[in-house]
Amino acid sequence: MADLDALRSRFALAMAGATAPGTGPAAAPAPDPAPYADDLLARWQEPQRRYHTLAHLTAVLDHVDVLAAHADDVDVVRLAAWFHDAVYRPDRSENEERSARLAERALPEAGVPAGKTAEVARLVRLTVTHAPADDDRDGQVLCDADLAVLASPPSAYAAYTAAVREEYHFVPNDAFREGRAAILRQLLGLPSLFHTPHGRRAWEATARHNLAGELEMLSLPDTPGL
């Protein structure tokens, strides 16, 4: 069970960092972040979610914290973590774009300066490809934090794959198996799954082992759970 009060506090701290004195208009103080946190928390608890839940949000925030030293503006990355997949429908392909637009509407109203709002939206859109540029340190942190689940221990990785399948329950088994296998092959074909030094050092080998094992399971007939 997610600690909602702890998540509200984490959101408030990220907002405070993004709206610190000197980064925005010198007029009125920023609005109370609590209503914005509550709106996001409600979105992350929608019933259609099985993997993209508060547990995933918390894990991404935790991994951003692990990678914080690599970021140029870690509070902006944290806000991007909050907004990535804040709009989520498993049967839709524009979730990242709609999530980025939500950030573009909500953050200025909450007192975040235009430049930082634009950067949050850019980072959210980057999670479509998870392919940040070599000099995009904030993008590297968000993408690595989002994909760190791939380096989970065996039981946690099994729970992750089961949740993904449940989220796509409306897809027939053969079609899901074919589509998932294509994604796994694409990931395994990348020179590196992770972009930060820590991600490459701590997560790369385990993630590749997990992906290869899942791909092998998908090739078997009557894979349990599929």
From the CB of residue 27, how many other CB atoms can be counted at a distance below 10 Å? Answer: 6
Task: Please give the distance of CA 52 from its chain centroid, rounded to a whole number.
Answer: 8
Amino acid in position 196: T
Other beta carbons within 10 angstroms of residue 218's beta carbon come to: 16
Q: What is the pLDDT of residue 23?
A: 46
Taking the C-alpha atoms of residue 8 and residue 226, their distance in angstroms, rounded to an integer, is: 36
pLDDT of residue 98: 98
pLDDT band at 128 (very low <50, low <70, confident <90, very high): very high
Sequence-separated (6 or more) residues with CB below 8 Å from residue 122: 100, 139
Q: How sure is the predictor about 27, in pLDDT bands with cuts at 50, 70 and 90?
A: low
Domain boundaries, the chain: 4-149, 150-218
CA angle 111, 114, 116 (to 5 degrees): 85
CATH of span 4-149: 1.10.3210.10
pLDDT at 4: 96
Give the closest residue to 67 by CA, choosing from 141, 15, 159, 177: 141
25 DSSP assignment: -
Q: Is it the case that residue 155 has pLDDT exceeding 90?
A: yes
Read off the pLDDT of residues 54-68 as tens digits, 9 standing for 90 and up. 999 999 999 999 999
Tokens of 48: 């259609």
- The pLDDT of residue 216 is 96
